[in-house]
Amino acid sequence: MKIEAVDFFYLAMPQVTTEADGSQDALLVRVVAGGHVGWGECEASPLVSIAGFVTPMSHGVCRPVAASVLGQTLDSPADIARIAAEVEYNSMDLLQAAHTFSGIEMALWDLLGKARGEPVWRLLGYRTSYSKTPYASQLFGDTPQDTLRGGEVARRDGFKAVKFGWGPIGRGTVKEDTDHLQAAREGLGPDGILLVDVGQIWGEDVEAAAARLPALEEAGAVWLEEPFHGGALDAYQALARRSSKVKIAGGEAAHNVFMARHMIDYGGVGFVQIDCGRIGGIGPAKKVAEYAVARGVTYVNHTFTSHLALSASLQPYAGLADHRICEFPFAPKPVAREFTANHLDRDANGEVAAPEAPGLGIEINLDAVRKYLVDVEIKVSSRTLYATPELA
């Protein structure tokens, strides 16, 4: 098969706010090859990612992603790895390339799986897709009472685990954060698995993070996610050494395998969280999963958007029976919920698994895509480099 077309569709809510919610817009990717169609999703600024595909060449290792993808042969997983290597080298100085290619790479796996009649996880070498325990991923409330209600709703909806993130945490006093953590625990009940994400709020301030450790321990938090900038490995390691009960989690900021490995080796994380929409796709994420297993670190998917992204994020560790925690989009915005025609529902035990269906097992709702589609045109010197393609 030859890759004939790579099309991008920018979707967005009518109004995008400053809320730390990545499900407010989306960049859907369609790849066509050999009479088959695959779909993927980028996790980054949509317009910048589109530009990364079509931007004029700046020099030999700053080429548009399109130059390394269009016309390529796609017949096996090895072809996907080969194309990825070409993108990595030819777009070395195009820093958005990893994000742009991530969605394309997902679509390549989806297309190849459909062509072969196999789920992606089987193409990756796994024999079984093990069920995972999903956690409801949501924001801290504006007040502790709002946080408490969020925990109660998740518990009522049958989630055994909940992650509260961002919002006011880390922006006020230790006492204010403690109140939120206690409210989260109260809302979840004594047996709920509590996970906490602070969205890099402390930069590299180890003391600020350490001041919250007693409250995190008292609330029974399993992990503290992204306390620092994704590259502040010394700060990660210092906090990991001071935290005896609460593990440190991170890795979503990694946009290549090496960054993820460094988070494990030098950051001292107990949980490495990888976003297939950022790291370069499913193949690189699988490499990180293998690396984590070898070093006794738990691999966790990272996704906060659609069920297309959720399915892609499950594939790299679908066959790892002992790595069971799974981020699950709990309350995405309508655009992220609606553009897929089917969803990965939890089973009778409240668990979720990568689909058995060919490819990623997710179908696209074209009517919903049209509903949220934002028309885009990129021109340079009166030459159109990109225009929103036809959906048909």
Per-residue model confidence as pLDDT tens digits over 103-114: 999 999 999 999
What was the pLDDT predicted at 329? 85
Within its chain, how far is the Cα of 272 from the centroid? Answer: 12
| Residue (of 73, 8, 90) closest to 44 by Cα position | 8
pLDDT of residue 243: 86
The 10s digit of each residue's pLDDT in 3-12 is 999 999 999 9
User: What's residue 20's pLDDT?
Assistant: 77
Query: pTM, whole model, 2 decimals?
Result: 0.94
At residue 246, φ and ψ (nearest 5 deg) are: -95, 120
Q: Give residue 332's pLDDT.
A: 86
Structure confidence at residue 22 (pLDDT):
83
What does the pLDDT read at residue 266? Answer: 97
Low-confidence stretches of the chain (pLDDT < 50) are none
Res 7: pLDDT: 97
Q: How many residues are given for the chain?
A: 392
How many whole angstroms separate alpha carbon 278 and alpha carbon 354?
19
All structural domains of the chain, each given as residue ranges with its CATH number in brackets, are 3-119+365-387 (3.30.390.10), 123-338 (3.20.20.120)
